[in-house]
Amino acid sequence: MTMDDLREKVALAIHLADRDCGVQWDRLSLSSQGTYRVMASAALAAIEASGHRIVPVEPTEEMAEDGGRALVHPSSYMGGAPALAKRDAIRIYRAMLTAYGQKEE
């Protein structure tokens, strides 16, 4: 999913939460849809500004490749990451997402 796709989903969620609107998304004017997209962009920007990131639950192939490469040789490995290192990177990524928010800081 791209950030544009995510923004669209957030815009739709904001629209659905707006009980005063009363108009279905596909019947809104382009201007009104644009307003919800601006709100969605603002919400996503506020998340980033707070020091958080929106990340996929499952790492992308590129994320696994880069993570595997960092596990093997953090500063010098120039080839593709070995399969075992990629699996380890995926396992670590999943563990980090699972742990996030489970402990009060």
More confident residue, 1 or 24: 24
Burial class from Cβ neighbours inside 10 Å (0-12, 13-18, 19+) for residue 43 reads middle
Query: For residue 41, how many other CB atoms are within 10 A of its CB?
Result: 14
Dist CA 12 CA 3 (whole Å): 14
Three-class SS state of 94: helix
- What is the pLDDT, as a whole number, of residue 28? 93
Are the C-beta atoms of 10 and 43 separated by less than 8 Å? yes
pLDDT of residue 81: 66
Model pLDDT, residue 35: 95
The DSSP line for 25-82 is GGGS-HHHHHHHHHHHHHHHHHHHHTT-----SSPPHHHHHHHHHHHH-TTT--SPPP
pLDDT beyond 90 at 26: yes
Q: How sure is the predictor about 61, in pLDDT bands with cuts at 50, 70 and 90?
A: confident
Which of 4-13, 69-78, 80-89 has the highest average model confidence (pLDDT)?
4-13
Q: What is the pTM of this model?
A: 0.68
